[in-house]
A and B are shown apart, each in its own frame.
Chain A
Amino acid sequence: MTTLARLDSVTRRFGSTTALDAVSLEIRSGEILGLLGPNGAGKSTMLTLLQGSRRPTSGTVELFGGDPSLARFRAELGSTPQETALPDTLRVSEVIDLVAAHFPDRVPTAQLAEEFGFADLLRRQCGALSGGQKRRIAVALAFAGRPRLVLLDEPTTGLDVDARHGLWAAIRRHRADGATVVVTSHYLEEIEALADRVVVIDQGRVLADDSLDAVRSRVESSIVSLRSPSAQRIAELAGVVRAERAEGGEASGDGTDRLDLTVADSDEFVRTLVTSGLPFERLAVRGASLEEAFLALTVSTPASPERIPV
């Protein structure tokens, strides 16, 4: 397995905002890497750095062993235009031909159109296409030059279920043919359908980098809320991934603290809690939101500060 691209403690700032904060990441051949994170997490910034259209504020970005801002290192890279913007006045076939002309071993236009389901649109001007049609063409452009590494930014946003599944199938087929794919999404479902390896990022930092199964088991967690005078000891029970304690004070008036516990298996945890004999009241269980799940992921790094306050 070879490394196709690498980010080494890359920081990118836009004015006072830090879009990426000391991110290190390797993209290895043969995998579909899912970049999962909420909007504004830094996913697109990471892709623009790999495309060489932006430079890091500090740290190094390497693509096929070189600087991605030099055209020759992008010869085996495929990507999609952002916001699926295609030049309105050009015909679909002209756009495909223009993009494909940059690569030595291009996919014939008709074959690409057939595969991504727009063979009937080749003579149309791009301005006349619907959002979903543009999306399919934009994704097809990423594969036009038979690239070794493909970057797909939110590839199926705005597509209906059928079109989305068709596109996923195409992406998997290209992986089977040897392409390495990086796909960003804020949909867990999309990442689950495609990725072998998942990198969760939020606020410019990598929260997790693991196999799909490992990340999924941590993302599918629950929040158990309760009040207890023994909050500290409950937070140390087995099964607690992350604990957040709010001082009771006046709100309760009885010296109990409110606890929000992130647990992987809520049934198992409640059993443990009852067996422990520790006092508690007002127990409530709910599924963790994606954001809480992301937060819980920070404990996968042993030195993470989130663990200390409890």
Chain B
Amino acid sequence: MTAAADTRDPVTRAPETRASGRVSMVKLYGMHVRALLLETLRVPIAIIGSMVFPAMSLLFFVVPNRVVADDPVLATQAVISLSVFAVMVSALFNLGLTIAENREKPWDPYLRSLPLPPAVRISAQLTATSALSFASMIPVLLVGAFATAATVSVSGLLLGLVELALTSIPFLLLGAAIGYAFPSKAAIAVIQVGMFGFAFAGGLFFPPQFFPDWLDALSRFIPARHARELVISAVDGTAPDLWMLAGALAWTLAAAALVLWLYRRDEGRRYR
């Protein structure tokens, strides 16, 4: 997974590595990823929602509409759109809500009192969420493969997955930013408004080809649209649209700056 490899880099470079003697930061990162995955997987119902909802959308909105479902191009785009949706929902929800909830519990502040560099914890959170995000995409791919005319080459599938991992980074960062900025109840509201707004305006539910001009113009500033177009061009093997590439990059940088600022400011939401 590309996101994991990317986020591991800053960890091994952290100055903490030297001072904490024989503690391997890579091993520590692995322990945290494992603990985070176990915590989630032991309450599987928590991830059922993000796994089932995108596949259900495909099953109920796309599959019965044979004009789209029987057209290889439109069907493939629909499957890609809902895969982007699955990854986006999972990133925003799992990361945003988990971080917001953890800040209200004393366990997370406790972990932060251990000799644990912030980069290790944050990258472990991003990795664990990415793993769950990709799991939530599998039902969409299965429905797409068996119930629609969507097709993809092996190289298209692999490139698409890599592109999906890359374009999920801004959503992961935005999820983390929401988690650090809001208490959990407010975070749920912000995430819901954000994810449906992104999904509609980004053309994940209705293809942007059918958008009126004003909506299409707006859509070109929405990260979900960037992700959709970039993954489609990766799957098709065409050159990515520069506007979409620049848009995705801008959202990634802005969201990363926001998270870092919020993390430094955060002292846990504790009441005296």
**A144 and chain B: residue at smallest CB distance:** B114
Chain A: minimal CB distance from B28 (Å): 6
**Contact digits for B1-31, partner A, Cβ 8 Å, 1 yes 0 no:** 0000000000000011011111100011001
- CB proximity of A99 to chain B, nearest CB, Å: 7
Residue of chain B at shortest CB distance from A106 = B23
A52 within 8 A of B: yes
Give Cα A224–Cα B114 distance, bound, in whole angstroms: 49
Taking a contact as CB atoms closer than 8 A, the residue among B27, B42, B272 that contacts A19 in the complex is: B272
Does A304 sit within 8 A of B, measured CB to CB?
no
> Is there an interface contact between A82 and B109, defined as CB atoms closer than 8 Å?
yes
Taking residues whose C-beta sits less than 8 angstroms from the other chain, chain B's interface range is 20 to 34
A108 at the interface (CB under 8 A from B): no
Question: Interface-forming stretch among B32-40, B88-96, B170-178, B245-253?
Answer: B32-40
The reply to whether A54 and B116 form a contact with Cβ atoms under 8 Å apart is: no
User: By the criterion of a CB under 8 Å from any partner CB, how many residues of chain A are at the interface?
Assistant: 37
Q: Enumerate chain A residues within 8 angstroms of B116, measured Cβ to Cβ.
A: 71, 102
A98 to B36 alpha-carbon distance, docked (Å): 11
Distance between Cα atoms of A89 and B42 in the complex (Å): 6
Q: Is B110 an interface residue (CB 8 A)?
A: yes
Q: Which of B38, B105, B110, B272 has the most CB of A within 10 A?
A: B110
B106 surroundings in chain A (CB, below 8 A): 81-83, 85
Q: A89 near B115 (CB under 8 angstroms)?
A: no
A14 to B110, CA, bound (A): 20
Residue pair B107, A86 in contact (C-beta under 8 Å): yes
| Cβ of B66 under 8 Å from chain A | no
Known pairs A82-B109, A87-B39, A90-B35; A77 contacts B28 (CB<8 A): no
Give every chain A residue within 8 A of B114 (Cβ-Cβ). Answer: 71, 74, 99, 102
Cβ of A282 within 8 Å of any chain B Cβ, yes or no, is no
Cβ of A210 under 8 Å from chain B: no
B242 within 8 A of A: no
Apart from A71-B116, A89-B42, 13 more pairs, CB < 8 Å: A48-B109, A55-B267, A70-B16, A71-B20, A71-B115, A74-B115, A75-B19, A75-B23, A83-B106, A85-B107, A94-B35, A99-B114, A103-B23
Query: Can you list 27 A-B pairs with a CB-CB distance of less than 8 A?
Result: A17-B272, A19-B272, A48-B109, A48-B113, A53-B268, A55-B267, A71-B16, A71-B114, A71-B117, A72-B18, A74-B114, A74-B115, A77-B113, A77-B115, A80-B110, A81-B107, A85-B105, A86-B107, A87-B39, A89-B38, A90-B35, A90-B42, A94-B35, A94-B38, A98-B35, A101-B23, A103-B23
Spell out A's residues near B (CB within 8 Å): 14, 17, 19, 40, 45, 48, 51-55, 70-75, 77, 79-83, 85-87, 89-90, 94, 97-99, 101-104, 125
- Report B's interface with A, CB cutoff 8 A: 15-16, 18-23, 27-28, 31-32, 35, 38-39, 42-43, 105-107, 109-110, 112-118, 267-268, 272
